[in-house]
Amino acid sequence: MKQITTLTHEDAQKALEVIKAEILKRGKAAVITVADAHGELIALLRLDGTAYTCIQIATNKAYTAARERRPSRNIGLKSRDPQTAFDIAYFGDPKMVGWGGGLPVELNGEIIGAVGVSGLPEMEDVEMAQLGIAAILK
- CATH code for position 56: 3.30.450.150
C-alpha distance from residue 118 to each of 21, 29, 75, 90, 91 (Å):
15, 9, 16, 24, 22
C-alpha distance from residue 22 to each of 11, 31, 67, 70, 121 (Å):
17, 13, 27, 24, 15
What are the pLDDT tens digits along the chain (138 aa)?
888 899 999 999 999 999 999 999 999 999 999 999 999 999 999 999 999 999 999 999 999 999 999 999 988 665 555 565 555 655 678 898 989 999 999 999 999 999 999 999 999 999 999 999 999 999
Residue 82 domain flag: yes
Residue 4 domain flag: no
Domain with 54, as residue range(s), is 9-137
Total count of domains within the chain: 1
Residue 52 domain flag: yes
pLDDT of residue 75: 81
Residue 3 domain flag: no
pLDDT of residue 110: 95
Quote the longest CA-to-CA distance of the chain.
48
pTM of the model: 0.91
